[in-house]
A and B are shown apart, each in its own frame.
Chain A
Amino acid sequence: MAKTATSAFKKSSNWVVQAILIFGVLVTIFPFVWVALMGTHSRSDIFSSPPPFYVGDRLMENYAKLLEIMPFWTVLGNSLFVSVLGTLGAVLFCSMCAYGFFAFDFRGKNIIFGIMVASMMVPPVLTLIPFFLTVKFLGILDTHFALWFPGVANAFGIFLIRQYMVTSITRDLLDAAKVDGASELRIYWSVVLPLIKPALATLAIVMFIGLWNNFLAPLIVISSPDKYVLTLALRSVQSLANSPWGAVMLGTFLSMVPLLLAFVFFSKQMMAGLTAGAVKG
């Protein structure tokens, strides 16, 4: 599309453009390379001069140390558990609610939908204390349930999926299914769900990344170290006296690996999903 404009750039300034972009990429990926390298060095190597810009030989040592300062695999399992349940729950319940708003006309529908959209504007900071109190009243403090469950029917997900339904499912299709004698539940499950798979995938991506990286909710909800999730466990070893930075950096790097791997394969879907609101807005 930008062919003619390209020619303007091509001649004199193309290498400048490339240099700028490559500089941007270098600044972006340097911390990732650096954390991977630090994971293979001992504490004294990391802070030696000149900085060790090569792969070190202390990987196993750091790994042993990492298991010493935190139950790494338990914590990783906790993160996985919370993220998977929260994602599955959101895909199920958000699509269910979205179907409710999409397929039916009922009294109060517009008001509820309006409140729902407005609630997306409420900054999470405001709900932090009330959220904590509810969790406390319900007696689910210090449980993983309190991390994944409250978000399974969230306004963003419902809105996202309803908008997708509006563009991809016709009234005629629903009516045809009804004439064939399908119950509402059956229409939702066998007719609608298969048709909105792309939106479900988008929601799943957004939810999983959000839950995996979540820090604030675990920080105020979880107190026992064996229930920590990755973000919380990593933060808790930051201030250890004489902290073993090689081990901490190894843990930090390992905690990022799952999402980075997923990004290598699904970068298009993940970028589209995470900017869904903005780009279509």
Chain B
Amino acid sequence: MKAPHTLTTVLLIAVAFVAPLLVDAVRRNYRLAGDNSGFEPVQPIAYSHRLHAGELGIDCQHCHSGAETSRMAGIPPANTCMNCHTFVTAPFNAVRAEDEAAARENRKPRRIISPELRKLYNALGLDEELHPDSAMEQSAIQWVRIHAVPDFASFDHRAHLGAGVDCQTCHGEVQTMERVRQVSTLSMGWCVNCHRDANANGIKGRKVNAPLDCAACHY
């Protein structure tokens, strides 16, 4: 007599637990565990890949220089930014406006620093004239990591670049993104499909040997 009641109760509780999850899952398009595609966090500095990689056409590896030689492409250190931003401190329009204003008012133009670049200079402890200011503390720029595979999987940029894979194959058309968004799922199935496809069709007409062994990534 008692047993069916217990079973019903358990099932009811189970349904009660599962229902909100189902709703949630539907709302999120049945995303699998660990699938972060669409992730587009706000970064501490509103750096625009569209401007740098797209409009200005700077090569990805100019800043992500580890991609060719290391497993990590790397996020550029602030001193890489300073290669250009020692001189370029604000958008061209703003500088021109200030130059024109200065000419009108018959004074020397002031250095214009855009608010986003100010964050970079603050991190490096640079004052208004971009000189090191001992009163300012240097602080690391804490970017939010977008593309990440789990700790039990190893991804190596070198191998992929060496095989001729474009950055965009995994990272999407970053040169069009104002704020970077994860476009791929970075799931294992997605990786393996690409490896199979590469083995069958080659990459850019070149035959490649993309490993399918588990231990190619998991160790």
Do A and B pair up? The answer is no
Q: Which residues of B contact A (CB under 8 A)?
A: none
Q: Which residues of A contact B (CB under 8 A)?
A: none
